[in-house]
Amino acid sequence: MADRPLSPHLQIWKWGPHMLVSILHRASGDGMALVGLAVLVWWLASLVGGAEAYADFLAIAGSPIGLIVLVGLSWAFFTHMASGIRHFVLDIGAGYELDTNKTWSILSPLIGVLLTAGFWALILTK
């Protein structure tokens, strides 16, 4: 029994950008599911609740904390989308070369940040 191989664990694996992208993909999906659903339900309830309820929603959503939540949700969306496209390419059998995989693992979160910044620049300038 002593010559059986041990399962690899975190002390064996070297940290890499693909691990970060995997964690961000899961965290952004969970964040959108939990926080995004709560904001969506609140927004829909405020629409049904009348003009005062909707004005309250807009006031809180437009406050600094509300904007942080909305920017965070949009970052989660764009990061999850970029990572999802990366996973789609991997699922069709491409991008498994080490250099290509590492490059796209680094670019996925950066693309999410750039798309979020562009999205909010567009919203705030209109």
94 within domain boundaries: yes
25 within domain boundaries: yes
pLDDT tens-digit readout, 44-71: 999 999 999 999 999 999 999 999 999 9
1 within domain boundaries: no
H/E run at residue 104: helix 98-125
113 within domain boundaries: yes
How many distinct structural domains can be found in the chain? 1
10 within domain boundaries: no
C-alpha to C-alpha distance for 78 and 93, rounded to whole angstroms: 23
Tell me: is residue 80 an annotated ligand-binding position. Answer: yes
Identify which of 115, 83, 113 has the alpha carbon closest to the alpha carbon of residue 17: 83
32 within domain boundaries: yes
pTM, full prediction: 0.85
* CATH number of 109's domain: 1.20.1300.10
**Per-residue confidence band for 95, with pLDDT thresholds at 50, 70 and 90:** confident
Range of the domain at 50: 19-125
